Structure 1
Amino acid sequence: MDGEDGIFRRFVRQRSLSSLFGRGIRGRGSSEGEDSTQIKPIPQLSLVTNSVVSRCARILRSSPLDLQKNFEIEHPEQIQNSSAYARNVLEYCSYKALQEVCKNPGYLGDKELRRLTFDMMLAWEVPGAKTEFMPKEKKFHRNLGTEEEDAGSLFYIDSTSVAALVDHKKTVGREAFCRIAPACSPIADSITVHNLFDALTSSSPGTLHFLLYEKYLGSLDKLLKAAKNAQGLPLASNLPIYDGEIILDVDGNIPIQPVLQHIGISAWPGRLTLTSHALYFESLGVGSYDKATVYDLAADSKQVVKPDLIGPLGSRLFDKAVLYKSSSLEDPVSFEFPELTGHSRRDYWLAIIHEVLYAHNFIRKYGLCESQRAEALSKAIIAILQCRAIKEVIYVIPSLSKTLLPFSLAENIPKGDAILEALHGHLECIAKPGGFLPVSTLTLCRRGLNVMKKGDEVEEILPETGAFCVGAVSPLEKAVEKSIFCSGEAETARATVEQVKVEGIDTNLAVMKGLLSPVIKSFDKFHFLSSWEDRFQSAAFLVLVTFIFLRGWFRYIVPVASISIAILMTWHKYSSKGKLRDPLKIVAPPSKNPVEQILILQEAISQVEMLVQAGNIILLKFRSILLATVPQTTDRVAIALIGAGIIFLLVPLEHLLLLGFLELYTREMPLRKYSSEKVMRRVREWWVRVPAAPVKLIPPEDHKKRN
């Protein structure tokens, strides 16, 4: 019987989806004379959920009641939670059915499967019998199409077909989409599913319509077929690709839209190809392409990929290029993507190149084995195809592309490292017996895209545990949720930053002065005391500071200040009760026209230049002293340094600080004012006599090569 069952399963797997899930398949629990239309619904579930569970049962060649019993046996802890029981049953049946359906290579092209996955999301929102959403006044008409179409339909059963007839106005929310869609690897990834939902619902925020969802799956199916066909085209034979390397995208093969490769001041038009391992550039020759130049993205060669300004003869005029450099290249290379307006073409290529590069960095960082490496690369490949499908469906702006790519997203969001660690933990389960399936690798292999080398096979033995937890959240999903929460806080903070940005140097200086007003007032007060204009206040402050130092309380100043600030912050927290306080009021300076603003900027730059010059002079004079340009000066400084070293060695630090404070604070004291001015005059005169070390400017060498 086992041999016959295995033959039957292989025979069924080879058939199309419509024939696999045809009318003739009955539940295992039903008798031969019992028709599938007599299957009893589960009373705890809503009509639409019963419809979905019944269709899942037919896929699994079982009955809804048998699936319910299996769920209760495998997940006994979920039975106690009555409020989530219906949803957990739905998730269990959906995950099992999708795992079986995904074995067929062409399942994305089946329109009934697209409807089933969408109905799963609708049912997830109203799983229980008490949460039914179908309007009572809407009447159901059995005649949905021709009799032949209805007879061969997998997803409509007489007993629950009223729930399966989903109104075209019905839409799916974020939570349902993010819970069901990742169970089917090509549709969505657990890391980027939230951003994918935002992209799909950009025209209707928060709600996903079936027509748009179906269009996305259709585009994704077309791109998977095109990726398979690309491996056998002449393009693939012209490139030095090897086993397991997949062509992801090609640009520049249209003569009127070439890609320009810039090295130094030289530029060549050609064709750029991105694979799962490298970039290939083929310069355009006479009637054909020259031999491809390979830029290996999988190598550990300190590679850098970033946007770049480009132009003719090495000029930096247009923001339309991608700069690539690595330790294996003598000169950096720029790939220019010319277009009339904007730089969307460049941004898209920058995003997908980064995704491949980050995927290989992830593989090297965690030392993944062959099966884990293939799974990580498969996730990146599928994400790039999903990004292309979104572009074709809704023409999404390229700046959103990087948020649809898992490795790029994890590199650029708060707590993205925790996501990568959770992903590594997930991939570790693939190599263990009874672990998770390498679903992304299997998805590509079933579509004819083998990401593994010849001789390496992916076993399709079903594990006892699945990657998706029924009624619970996996560690990877938890890491994504934490990152989303932190990203939300970061976006809120970034929005406040954008609100407080002001234009104009004088205005920004006014804001800074207002923010630093407590410090400025404290400094002014100290300057007033040190000037000894009010002798009583100055003497009292001197006695207080001296007493603190002599009693050894100086060490407590920093801890007391820290605790006081913490108490002040806590008081503000509870007094404001989470509400924003009144904004800081700054008196704006008189408005100035653009010419006046330019003059202010020029003056500020001149002042900065003077400060830099003064700093250089000080450093050059110290260099002159250090190199003994003036021997007498060097001797005096050396003797002073020896004395300072002995003092620091013998005198405690607190006493030295007290002496320094007394020196600075009592300079304007009537008893010391004359002598202090005389000493400072002699120091200035000595400093003026110290010569600056000479400087010789050498013109830079031109490293640009002319070919």
Structure 2
Amino acid sequence: MEKEKKEKKEKAETVPKNDGMWLLKSIFSKKSNTDGDADSNVKSSPDQNPPFPFLSAHANAVVSLCSKTLGISTNALQEQFDLELPDNLKQPDSHARNFLEFCSYKALGLAITQPNYLNDKEFRRLTFDMMIAWEVPGVASDQIDKVDDKKTVGPEAFARIAPACPVIADITTVHNLFDVLTSSSGPRLHFLVYDKYLRSLEKIIKFVQNAVGPQVISNLSLAEDEIIIDIDGTVPTQPVLQHIGMSAWPGRLTLTNHALYFESGVGLYDKAVRYDLAKEMKQVIKPELTGPLGARLFDKAVMYKSTSIAEPVYLEFPEFKGSSRRDYWLDICLEIHRAHKFTRKYNMKGNQLSEALARAILGIFRFRAVREAFRVSSSNYKTLLCFNLAESLPGGDMIMQTLSSRLTLISPTAGQQEILSSPNANRKHVLPAALMTLITLKIVPSKEGELNGEATYQGVDVCVGESNPLEAVVKQLKLDTGMAEAAQATVDQVKVEGIDTNLAVMKELLFPLIETYNRLQRLISWDDPFKSTMFVLFTSYLIYTDWIKYALPSIFVFLALVMLWRRYTWNKRQLGAFKIVAPPSKNAVEQLLTLQEAITQAESLIQSGNIILLKTRALLYAVAPQATVKLSIVLVLTGTVIAVLPLKYLMLLVFVESFTMNMPLRKETSERGLRRIREWWVRIPAAPVELVKPDDKKRK
């Protein structure tokens, strides 16, 4: 029985390696519909095998296309599905969709081994048809959503099919990519938009393939495994300016998977200066202001600083309006830097390191394709770059931990013999799909004995009927991000303008604390001797009996009980707006005067603090000998009392002394004692201060 099953499996897995794209083209040899409707593919390729009764008409057509792409019958595909997948993926409620995913992943695994598959219109249509069929796999759900009589795709279908082609989407950013592509068409993706994205992506790939020339190699001195990702500054009207100190030079900027290179000049370039992004040199990469002669005028530059250079370097990207050029270069430089930081943190070597960098490179390609095709840039949470997303997303470190656990399953020295074609095979190692994609696209050279793109393979991030751990983490963080964004929206709504208005809001919000402080002041002033006496006796009793240590915990428990009571009794009520009486409106000049007064008061407080510190320094260094002797005696006596008396008696002594200073019996004596202390403090000189001007070598 086992022998028969093995022979059956071997027969089902007979897949031609080199004829996949020829078969795909032969399927679509008929004239296709030119109105942009992706359904033209499935109508022009009737299957010779009978359709499966559990699949919808569209899903049957897609399965037929997959079988012809693979060069095997649909029955053979079903046999492979039955043999390779566990029984829990064959339940009636999910059987149709899982079978469709199996066939789609198999066909895409073969199709993407061809070097120019992005340029093939039939391939682009097939992937879109797979997404449409994913939404309506069974006969009970054979209703396709249409917009303007054109079939469209939803986010879940896109997220399940697109990552099977690593160059098209990454599992960590696939939902962000869908949001960008559908920003102008609502929650559904049109084929025309999807096709435009892939055509733009194909142009980016061609640019990178042709970026390396003899002059570039001689100027940059690239390492063997170094790949050029993007170049800017080659057009005279759009230069890149390098600022160091007060000097600036135009030139050409090149980003590789290891460093930034700047070549000064226009047309003819000098030897490149290298700014490393890979090694640990405490690099700082951030947006910065630049201008002529060191002036900070234009927010269009990226600052690079590391321990390998003496002073920061500013790379300016001039443009008439906005700073999209600068933002793009800032994002892609940070992506490469953070990818290397990730590999160092988890000590990755070999194919594991190459796969992490390949993910970053493919993410940059996608980001650039979207930017050039649709003129959009990434926001904080909608970035298309994996490592930047993990840095900016709340809880993004969980993405990096999950990704590292996935990459550790990649054999550091995997060879061709370890490549498997099954999308759900039980294997010890997973495959470096992003790296193999770069090899297939001839961006990374394939070395003898190492991975190459000549075999059918499946992406690391897709698995029939199962959710990738990365996908689960990203979905959870996306929910948390939605809550954070909603909370931030409420923060933006309650922000008010004007110093006096903000002070009024703060005063009202702190009213309970202010009122508590005022009542304590009245008790300390002994305006009502009875209340003050009772308060002193009650607090003294709590200190003496050690009950005072439960005061703070009791406050915390009381607050917790109040919040829980509000939670379960007011859960259906809306929190009313906090009403605040607005102060009289002030014009711009009055607000400036208010600000000046506040700054003057803050300066006065800082001056008072400095005087206290300087007089303390004078006492420590015995500038006033008599005062120093008296303070030393007081410190010795105080230290002795603290060492001898138990803590509760010490607390009781301090409390009674401070709280009874203004009682009628002690008020005159206390005022006299405080006056003597102030007079003693006034007679202490401040330690001298000398201001030295810095020697500004740059300006000289």
Cα deviation, 1:602-625, whole Å, max 9, x if unaligned, reads 000000000000000000001001
Among 218, 238, 252, the residue aligned to 1:257: 238
Report the AA paired with residue 184 of structure 1: C
1:419 aligns with: 399
Q: 1:233 to 1:14 in 2, by over 3 A?
A: farther
Shifted more, 575-584 versus 258-267: the winner is 575-584
Please say if residues 530 and 668 of structure 1, whose CA atoms lie closer than 8 Å, have aligned partners that are also in contact.
yes
Worse-superposed segment, 523-532 or 7-16: 7-16
Q: Find the partner of 1:222 among 180, 203, 227.
A: 203
CA contact (8 A) 1:436 1:463 kept: no
**Aligned with 1:281: secondary structure?**
strand
Q: What residue in structure 1 maps to residue 365 of structure 2?
A: 385
Moved more, 687-696 or 49-58: 49-58
Work out whether residues 402 and 408 of structure 1, in 8 Å CA contact, stay in contact via their aligned partners in 2: no
Alpha carbons 2:241, 2:248 under 8 Å: kept: yes
- CA apart distance, 1:583: 1.5
Secondary structure of residue in 1 paired with 2:210: helix
- CA deviations 1:43-73 (Å, max 9, x no partner) are 1111111111221222223333333343233
Partner of 2:66: 56
Q: Which amino acid aligns with 2:69?
A: I
- The answer for the alignment partner of 1:98 in structure 2 is 108
Distance 1:481 1:204, change over 3 A: same
CA distance in 2 between counterparts of 1:64 and 1:657 reads 86
Q: 1:82 to 1:7 in 2, by over 3 A?
A: closer
Report if aligned partners of 1:78, 1:471 keep a CA contact under 8 Å in 2: no
Residues 624, 692 of structure 1: 8 Å contact kept: yes
Could you report, residue by residue, the CA deviation over 1:404-425 in whole angstroms, capped at 9, with x for unpaired residues? 1111111111111110111111
Q: Which residue of 1 aligns with 2:4?
A: none
Say if 1:374 and 1:451, in contact at 8 Å, map to a contact too.
Answer: no
Aligned match for 1:505, one of 476, 499, 502: 499
Pairwise CA distance, 1:482: 1.8
- Kindly indicate whether the alpha-carbon contact (under 8 Å) linking 1:415 and 1:482 is maintained by their aligned counterparts in 2: no
Which amino acid in structure 1 is aligned with residue 86 of structure 2? P
Distance of 1:512 and 1:325 partners within structure 2: 40
Counterpart residue identity of residue 643, structure 1: L
Paired amino acid for 1:577: N
Corresponding residue of 1:85: 95
Q: CA 1:103–1:11 in 2, change beyond 3 Å: closer, same or farther?
A: closer
Alignment correspondent of 1:243:
224
Q: Which amino acid aligns with 2:198?
A: L
Contact 2:20 2:71 in 1 (8 A): no
The RMSD of aligned alpha carbons is 2.7
43-52 or 606-615, larger mean C-alpha shift: 43-52
Q: Is there any run of 5+ residues in structure 2 with no aligned partner, and where?
A: 1-6, 31-44, 413-417, 419-426
Following the alignment from structure 1 to structure 2, what is the Cα–Cα distance between the partners of residues 500 and 662?
A: 44
| Partner residue, 2:439 | 445
Equivalent residue of 1:342, what SS? coil
Residue 206 of structure 1 pairs with residue 216 of structure 2 = no
Query: Where do 1:4-403 residues align within 5 Å?
Result: 9-12=16-19, 17-19=24-26, 37-79=47-89, 81-133=91-143, 169-232=150-213, 234-284=215-265, 288-397=268-377, 399=379, 403=383
For each residue in 1:230-252, what CA deviation from the matched residue of structure 2 results, as whole angstroms up to 9, or x when unmatched?
12363344321121211111111
Task: State the one-letter code of the partner of 1:378.
Answer: A
Instruction: Using the TM superposition, name which of 91-100 and 576-585 deviates more.
Output: 576-585
TM-score by length of structure 1 reads: 0.89
For 1:501-650, list aligned pairs within 5 A.
501-577=495-571, 579-650=573-644
Query: 2:381, 2:583 → 1: CA distance?
Result: 42
Residues 425 and 637 (structure 1 numbering): CA distance in 2 closer, same or farther, change over 3 Å? same
Distance 1:194 1:647, change over 3 A: same
Select which of 431, 455, 464 maps to 1:470: 464
How big is the shift at 1:9?
3.4
Note if 1:659 corresponds to 2:659: no
CA–CA distance in structure 2, aligned partners of residues 615 and 465 of structure 1: 64
Distance in 2, Cα, partners of 1:79 & 1:520: 64
- CA–CA distance in structure 2, aligned partners of residues 506 and 7 of structure 1: 79
Question: Separation in 1 of the partners of 2:26 and 2:502?
Answer: 71
Task: Supply the distance in 2 between the matched residues of 1:177 and 1:654 (Cα, whole angstroms).
Answer: 68
Q: In 2 relative to 1, CA 466–501 (structure 1 residues): closer, same or farther, beyond 3 Å?
A: closer
Distance 2:15 2:342 in 1: 41
1:500 CA displacement: 0.9
Q: 1:315 to 1:696 in 2, by over 3 A?
A: same
- Decide whether the 8 Å contact of 1:355 with 1:380 is kept in 2: yes
SS in 1 for 2:94: helix
Question: Any stretches of 5+ residues in structure 1 without a counterpart?
Answer: 24-34, 139-165
Give the TM-score normalised by the residue count of structure 2.
Answer: 0.90
Counting matched residue pairs gives: 664
Tell whether the 8 Å contact from 1:122 to 1:171 is kept in structure 2 after alignment: yes
Q: Structure 1 stretch 639-648 or stretch 66-75: which is displaced more?
A: 66-75
The reply on whether 1:428 has 2:438 as its aligned counterpart is: no
Q: For 2:221 and 2:15, how far apart are their aligned partners in 1?
A: 42
**In structure 2, do the counterparts of structure 1 residues 476 and 576 end up closer, same or farther at CA, with 3 Å as the change threshold?**
same
**1:152 corresponds to which residue?**
none
How much has 1:653 moved relative to structure 2? 2.1
Q: Tell me, what secondary structure is at the counterpart of 2:221?
A: coil
Report if the CA contact (8 A) 2:439-2:452 is conserved: no
Distance 1:194 1:688 in 2: 68
CA contact (8 A) 1:172 1:208 kept: yes
Q: 1:536 to 1:269 in 2, by over 3 A?
A: same
SS of alignment partner, residue 230 of structure 1: coil
Alignment of 1:682-693 (within 5 A): 682-693=676-687
CA contact 2:360–2:387 (8 Å) conserved in 1:
yes
Cα deviation for residue 475 of structure 1 reads 1.2
Give the aligned residue type for 1:691: P
Paired residues of 1:529 and 1:537 also in contact (CA < 8 A): yes
Q: Do the aligned partners of 2:49 and 2:73 also contact (CA within 8 Å) in 1?
A: yes
3-state secondary structure, aligned to 2:269: coil
- Residue aligning to 1:144: none
Contact 2:17 2:456 (C-alpha < 8 Å) held by counterparts: no
Find 1:492's aligned residue among 486, 489, 498: 486
DSSP-derived class of the 1:260 partner: strand
CA distance in 1, matches of 2:114, 2:18: 12
Alpha carbons of 1:212 and 1:579: their partners in 2 closer, same or farther (altered >3 Å)?
A: farther
Aligned-partner SS, 2:578 = coil
Contact in 2 for aligned 1:72/1:78 (Cα 8 Å)? no
**Distance apart, 1:11 and its partner CA:** 4.2
Deviations 1:635-680 (A, max 9, x none): 1111211222222222222222222221221111111111111111
Structure 2 match to 1:27 = none
Measured after TM superposition, the shift of residue 550 of structure 1 is: 1.6
- Superposed CA offset, 1:442-489 (max 9, x none): 11111111178x667215676899542322211111111122112111
2:477 match: 483
Q: Residue 268 of structure 1 contacts residue 284 of structure 1 at CA under 8 Å; is this kept in 2?
A: yes
